[in-house]
Structure 1
Amino acid sequence: MIENGQKVKIHYTGTLDDGTQFDSSAGRDPLEFEMGAGMVIPGFEKGVADMEVGDKKSINIPAEEAYGERREDLVMNFEKSQLPDDLNPEIGMMLQMQGPQGQPVPVTVTAVEDEHIVIDANHQLAGQALNFELELVSVG
């Protein structure tokens, strides 16, 4: 069992239930994170916890242990007059807003109207179960 505080290096490939690959460490250094530090989604940490160096396994992480369910309250209208003059918003464009404590919040433009745009602050993978192929490289 890997203990909280230990550093883990792992190779992974992440796919959605339809087989679409959304991320992979293939061709680059393995992902390194500290167990228990909240650096990765809860279900990923849970899936790695019982592995031994050299183990390979597949895990499925339900949305609630990944990026959570989609929240409609995170889809908002935003007046174009509040945008910088040099910004020409397009559907699919990623923007960065400021949260209540000044923290950066990535948002996606989902619609562009005459007077406003619609932005979505949900994580792009919210509401989706995630599948990972894992290979534990090292524990330190």
Structure 2
Amino acid sequence: MTSSDVAVGEGTRVFLNFSVSLEDGSEVDSNFGGEPVSFVVGDGNLLPGFERVLMGMEPGQRHVFTVSPEDAFGQPNDNNVQTVARDHFDDDVALEIGLVFSFADAAGGELPGLIVAFDEEEVTVDFNHPLAGRTILFDVQVHRVEPAELH
């Protein structure tokens, strides 16, 4: 079986170009004009909602998919808006609404948080994904699909 006989599905490596845009047409990310990227279906590099729409696509096909918030970055969750004591921030940091800070998460990784309000005592930080609640236009061109080499 040649790679041209393979469609996107479980156990395949997919080589593609893509763009992610909002409904108003503003582009969030794109690798069109560059080298294709590859991923193995189910490896966690692509959100499941984005993987699902690719199933059955074949090399040479290009589609624009509309992905709902539930299948993309989720709906905003009020529990992800936290209040942090102002003294957690250095005194020389000029806080502004709209600034993004990096916070340590429980697993020792980094979690971006958006400053949405602050006063002398407290800073309100939104840890929702910036695209939460947004419908995403996912433009995909599949170049190659091949059986994944499982190690």
TM-score, length basis structure 2: 0.83
How far apart are the structure 2 equivalents of 1:66 and 1:74? 17
* 1:119 is the counterpart of 2:130: no
1:11-50 pair list within 5 angstroms = 11-50=17-56
Quote the RMSD (CA, aligned, Å): 1.6
Partner residue of 1:4? 10
Aligned length: 140
Deviation of 1:86 after TM superposition, in Å, equals 4.1
TM-score, length basis structure 1: 0.89
Deviation of 1:93 after TM superposition, in Å, equals 1.6
Structure 1 unaligned residues grouped into runs of 5+: none
Question: Tell me, what secondary structure is at the counterpart of 2:53?
Answer: helix
Partner residue of 1:65? 71
Question: Tell me, what secondary structure is at the counterpart of 2:111?
Answer: strand
**Paired amino acid for 1:4:** E
Q: Which moves more between the two structures, 83-92 or 96-105?
A: 83-92
Deviation of 1:139 after TM superposition, in Å, equals 1.7
1:44-123 pair list within 5 angstroms = 44-123=50-129
Question: Tell me, what secondary structure is at the counterpart of 1:73?
Answer: helix
How far apart are the structure 2 equivalents of 1:85 and 1:104? 22
**Paired amino acid for 2:49:** G
Question: Tell me, what secondary structure is at the counterpart of 1:4?
Answer: coil
